[in-house]
Each structure stands twice: as C-alpha cells, then as structure tokens.
Structure 1
C-alpha cells in the first residue's frame, strides 16, 4: 500500500478514536463508522469521513481496521455488509480468544477478504507511539504489505501465520496484567483496613514489581527444562506464607477469595508430593488441569 493509503476504522470507542486520529495526522484518508454516529463528530471536523453504513465504510478502503468489544460485534456489524468484503484486508484489533480469531479468518476468507489478527499492547494514549506495540498474526505477505500503515498506530510484533497467535500472545499478557493488578488492589484493601494509604504503599509496591524481571529471568529456563529443584525455594515454605496472607486478610476483615485461590494451588502441589520442590512445580499442577 502507498504511504498515505486510505484506511477505514470501524468502532469509535477510545481506542478506535485514537486510531482514526493517528491515521489522519499521518496524512491518510480516513473513513470511519460507528453505531452511534455522533461519536465521530469531532473527527469529522478534523477531516475524517463518516460513512453512512458499515458497508460504505468497508467499500471506502482496502484496509479496514476493526476496534470493537469482541468478535461477536464484528459479525453483527459486518454480516449485513458481506457484499463489500471481497478484496478487503480486515485487521481485527478487538480482543477475543485464539479460536474465535481462527474462525473469523475462515469467515473472512469465505467472503473474499484477507484477515489479520491484532492484539494491541497499549492504552489509547499509546496509539501513535512507536514504543507501543501490537501483536499481529495471519498471512505474512498480507502483514508485510500493510506493515508500514499499521506502524502508524504502534510498533508491530508479527507472531506467525496462524491467525490465533496474536490473540494468544495478547491473552497471555492480559493473564499476567489483570492477575497482578488485582493482587495490587487486594494488597491496598489489606493496607487500608489497617490504616495505611495507597500512597504509603506505592514505593513498596513499585519495589516489589521491579524485582519481577530478574525473578522471571531466573526461573524461566528452569521451567522450560522441567527443573523444579527446591534448592532456592521450597513449596512447603510458600504454602505457609500464603496461608499467613489468608489469615491476615481474614483478621483484617478483607475478602480472602484471591489469596485463598492462590493457597488452593499451593495445597494441590503439596498433595502431589511437591513440598520439597520449588514453587515453580505448580506449573505442572496448573498445566495438567485434567487431573484435578
């Protein structure tokens, strides 16, 4: 595609709006569509074209960016516009599962469209920033043909031909992010219950999080080789530590569901005879869910 190729953006939530503005600022002809047309008003003032229908939006550009709640929203919007899909490249930046991404790629191909899955690792404020990144997967030649245009939004991280890979890598990141973020909220609730503010905890929370890269780097090669020796840490010590967290939360009148769920994993590891192994042996318990 040319440097300033026409682009369509469907979905004008905060992310879609940021994408439309980023393309416009880089000189692209931008067409948009949204169920609530008024969300495009300020973009139209800046020079974006508002399509009357989803079909008109798809027909306006070879490259069609989808920024929607999930894949069900894509079908709801594009099913009535399938006549316009032939020859188009759909880049679905909506969050959903790897399997749904694979199904969507087949659906698109059935209507003559090429398909790329994307997983954006940025907030709307990060759109247009080269240090932000988005996972992509699907046909490599399609990605390469449109890479320059997609890099208007963020840096690109192509993961492979399988349309499900970008969604998988994205969900893996979200698994870590939301679990970690929820642990932070739980810690703050525990602090508040004992008269300690979030601001007071911030430097300690930041310090703990700052240790994680070294922590991950140490244990990663061991996990990949199945080395769960307990010469650095032992699961039996970990289960006691988590048990103390559960009881501290209970004594403080704070919900115990999150640490109790962690404790359950540790107890499963103990029941499997892993007490003298590293806590990383829980990887074997987690990945073998059929046994529980």
Structure 2
C-alpha cells in the first residue's frame, strides 16, 4: 500500500481577481494540492506557513489527515494561516487518489448539490440576493443572466454586485422583478436580505423570505444568524474562521445536531467542494465569484445530481 508523504509546503503572493492573495501549495511524493485565499497581510501569513507550520508537518502522511489537522489546531495560529494549509493537504490527498475534493469529504455516493445565492444589489451596508430553487445549475445560471440583463438597465455594477443608494427603497422593485422571473420561468425564487440587526429594526421586511443578521430579530421567514440560537433556522459558517477541515466537520455536525442548518459564506472556489461534501444546502457569495461555475463543474461529475431545496 503506497503512502502519500508531505515533502514541501510553500506560500506566496498571487495577483488574482484584481488583488493580492495568498496561495498555499502542499507538495507530496505523489501529488500537489493548493488553496488561494484573500488575507490582510500576505507576507505575515507566508512567514507563519513556511517558518512555523511547515516544519511541524513535513514528513507526515496526508492519509492521516485528521492527525495532521490536529497538529495545525494545536499551533494556535490565525485560521487564515492554518485552514488554507488544511484545504491544500486535503486537495493533495484527493489528487493523489485521483478523485475530487468533494468526494474525499463526502464519499462517492454524493448526489446533492448546494444552491448558490449571490448578492445582486447593495448600498455598501446591506445586500439583496435571490435563492433560486432550480432543478439544475443551468437553470440557476439562466436566472442570474436574466437578472443581470434587467439590473444593467438601472444600476451600476461594482466589483461585487450592483450598487444603489438605499437598499430598502429598492426591495419592492427587486421583489417585482423576481416574481416576474418566477412566473416566466416557472421556478421558485426566494428573496434574501442581509443586514445588521440595528439597521433592520423597524424596517418593513414583509417582502423578504430569508433574512441574515448577526442576532435574531422578529421575522416571519427563514432566519440566518451568526450564532447558534433557538430562533434561527440557518447558521452562518465561514470556513476560514476555523482552523482546519476536521474542525469544520465537527462544527457542522454540531449545528446539525441542534436541528439547525449551516450556510457556507465566502468567495473561494474550494467552498463549492466543501459545501457539496458536507451536504450544506446553501452557499452565500458575491455575484463576481467563481463558486457557481465550480458547482456547475461538480454537477457534471455526478450521476443524477439534485439541487438542495428548503
């Protein structure tokens, strides 16, 4: 039985998406795995990864991923240093075994895909987004293309999504637009809003189906919060706030045991594999991220894929 030994761990700056990001690469005797993530101080993270993390785990087998992850956790470093390494380790293992990351995480019988809800409009504080209950990724993409053609006529597109002065002045217009697409395309679409609790208090939220805020507030639809609360339906999970994939797995299981549903937040394409592997029904991201395209790629690898609904 062959082994897969960690030989090198490298970190460097890369220019991607119009900004500097951190690229972490794990090189084994049989494979390479990498992850690219946005961080505030790339040079500090490079130093931590190459001078602190690498000496601790080079020489171990990535087949003992949970054990290597435990070493990373015990270092007590910033998760933005350890999680990219953990994901790179997992990718190097999946590449050596010649199957995709989502199957390494979730097994070969995976058939359910997350839906992807991208921000479409912001006032730089609050965000509106559709949650498209489609039968395929093709249908989700088609709805976003229709939305984009309509939004182009009224709003300016920034590097994340379209801009407006006050999101609450636009809710009725976006609701009408989505309802029109629902009728024309015969597809169910929820309207989501993300904002701070202090801003949302006293606002008319009757046209909103799904609400994201840091703490529970009185709301009749689906509620997503940052902390685990009895009033919540969904819990926000940013994988790069946790130290390793193993720790992420424990946290997701804990959320599920509380009869709540995790929602993945972020722009990294690795999150498409993480959400699919852990059977997380929803990814929240920006309109300009490549996550939807990566989920589309995953769909092509599945036999009889289904899109999560709620």
For this structure pair, what is the TM-score category when the shorter chain's length is used for normalisation?
Answer: under 0.3
Between Structure 1 and Structure 2, which shows a larger proportion of strand residues? 2
Instruction: Point out the structure with max Rg over C-alpha.
Output: 1
Alignment TM-score, normalising by the size of structure 2: 0.26
For normalisation by structure 1, the TM-score amounts to 0.27
- Higher normalized contact order (CA 8 Å, seq sep 6+, divided by chain length): 2
